Structure 1
Amino acid sequence: MAMQKRFPVEHSTVFPNGAFLHGEVTPVADFNAPAGPEGQRPQQRDKDTDLPLWQCVVIDGDEEAGRRDIGVTVKIAAKYQPVPPENKSPIPWTPVEFVGLTALPYVDDNGNRPRIAWSFRASDLVAPGQGRTDAKPPESKPESKAAA
C-alpha cells in the first residue's frame, strides 16, 4: 500500500517537549494568484477542503533541535482566523497544541545538501490539553452588567 501524501500525526509526536507560538496567526498569501489592484495577494485556500489557510510560527521545545528546526511554520485550514489561547505562562511565547495535525515530507534542496523536511497542517490551535476539535468564529465578549 502506498503512503498517502499527507498523513495524520499526533501533536505530541511532532512536539514532545511542547510548541510555543512566536508572533501572530496570519493569512497565507497565494502567490500563484494574480495580485489585486493595490498589489495585495488573495488568501491561499486548502486544496482538499477549500478553507482559507492561516499560518503561524512556533518554537519547538526540543532542546536538541537543530537551528533549522527550532522555528516551525504550521498552516491551519480554517473558516475563521484561529485565535491563540491566552498566554498564562511566565515566558513570552504562548504554549499551544495543534488539533488535526498532519505532516507531509518533502525534499528541501535549498542549501549545501538536499534534506528531508516537513510541511505541517492543522485544523486548529488550542492551549495544551484542551484538544478542541472544531474551529468556531471568534465570540464577542458579553457585556458585563452591574448588579443593582
Structure 2
Amino acid sequence: MAMQRRMKVAHHDVFPAGAFLKGAVESVGDFNASPREDGSRPQQVDKDTGLPLWQVTVLDADEEASRKETALSVKFAAKQQPVPPENKSGMPWTPVEFVGLTALAWIDDSGPRPRLAWSFRAEGMVAPGSPLKAAS
C-alpha cells in the first residue's frame, strides 16, 4: 500500500489548544501565471480538482508552538469562497474547527538550515463544538 501525499489528520491533532481565524478568506494568487493588465494575479486552481483555491490565516493557540508555527495558512479547494463561522467569542479572532483536514509535509529551506514544514488543506470550517459538516 502506497502512502498518500496528503495525510488525513484530525483538527484536534493539529490544533490541540484551538485555532483562530485572523482576517478574511482570501483567494490564492497564481504566481506562476502571467499578471493581468492591472497587475493582479489570476486565482490559483487545484491541480487535482480544477477548483479555485482559497486560504485563511490561522493562529494556533498552542503555547508550545514556535514563532514560525503560531500563524499558518489553511487552504480550501472550493467553487465558491468558503464562509467562516460567526464570531460570537467577543475576541478579534474567530474560533474555528476545520473539517476534512489534510497535511502535506515539505522541506522549508528558506532559512539558515532546512526544516520540515506542513501545508494544510480543509474541506470546510465550523464553530468549535458544532456538528462537523463538509463543505458543499
What interval of TM-score do these two structures reach, taking the shorter chain for normalisation? over 0.9
Task: Report the 3-state secondary structure (helix = DSSP H, G, I; strand = E; otherwise coil) of the residue aligned with 1:69.
Answer: helix
- In the TM superposition, residue 113 of structure 1 has moved relative to its aligned partner by 1.1
Paired residue for 2:19?
A: 19
Paired residue for 1:64?
A: 64
Task: Report the 3-state secondary structure (helix = DSSP H, G, I; strand = E; otherwise coil) of the residue aligned with 1:37.
Answer: coil
Q: TM-score scaled to structure 1, two decimals?
A: 0.87
Structure number with larger C-alpha Rg: 1
Paired residue for 1:35?
A: 35
The Cα offsets for residues 86-132 of structure 1, whole Å up to 9 and x where unpaired, read as 11113211001111111000001111111100000111111112212
Q: Hey, what's the Cα distance between the residues in 1 that align with 2:8 and 2:84?
A: 22
% of aligned pairs identical? 63
CA RMSD of aligned residues (A): 1.1
The Cα offsets for residues 32-65 of structure 1, whole Å up to 9 and x where unpaired, read as 1111121211100111111110011110010111
- In the TM superposition, residue 134 of structure 1 has moved relative to its aligned partner by 2.7
Amino acid aligned to 1:43: Q
Paired residue for 2:121?
A: 121
- Contact 1:78–1:124 (8 Å) recurs in 2: no
Task: Report the 3-state secondary structure (helix = DSSP H, G, I; strand = E; otherwise coil) of the residue aligned with 2:128.
Answer: coil
Q: Hey, what's the Cα distance between the residues in 1 that align with 2:9 and 2:47?
A: 19
Runs of 4+ in structure 1 deviating by more than 4 angstroms, as ranges, are none
Q: Hey, what's the Cα distance between the residues in 1 that align with 2:129 and 2:105?
A: 26
- In the TM superposition, residue 2 of structure 1 has moved relative to its aligned partner by 3.4
Amino acid aligned to 1:77: A
Aligned residues: 135
Paired residue for 2:133?
A: 132
Q: Hey, what's the Cα distance between the residues in 1 that align with 2:129 and 2:112?
A: 39
Q: Hey, what's the Cα distance between the residues in 2 that align with 1:83 and 1:122?
A: 13
Amino acid aligned to 1:133: A
Paired residue for 1:77?
A: 77
